[in-house]
Amino acid sequence: MKVMTNITTKNLRKDLFSKTLIDRQNLIRIVKTKDNQIIIDLDQKMSGRGAYMQKSYEAIIAVKKHNGLARSLKTKIDEAIYDKLLGLLDE
């Protein structure tokens, strides 16, 4: 396990795509609630199991291809979630 020195990790989250620590303001958060709903959390304040990914087309397609979001949230992911994520990039 790597020991990070002189770096504050309060706002760093591990990206599903690159597997690196990135500031959470540069990431999209997807949440699995207690009743197993999958929600895109733009405010990053909802409770539940969360996963973070980069705000890029390549990241979303790669995570979808390798089923990374489903593994991280431990549930099946509907195709509509990926469509919503891609729609966020167009805005």
Q: What is the pLDDT of residues 18-40, one digit of tens each?
A: 999 999 999 999 999 999 999 99
Q: Which of 25, 28, 35 is nearest to 69 (CA)?
A: 28
Please report whether residue 24 resides in a domain: yes
In a domain, 85, yes or no: yes
Predicted confidence at residue 90, as pLDDT, reads 84
Is the residue at 17 inside a domain? yes
Q: How far is C-alpha 85 from the chain's CA centre?
A: 10
**Percentage of the chain with pLDDT > 70?**
90
Q: What is the domain range of residue 54?
A: 13-90
pTM: 0.83
CA distance 70 to 91: 25
Q: List the chain pLDDT tens, one digit each, 91 residues.
A: 555 555 566 789 999 999 999 999 999 999 999 999 999 999 999 999 999 999 999 999 999 999 999 999 999 999 999 999 999 988 7
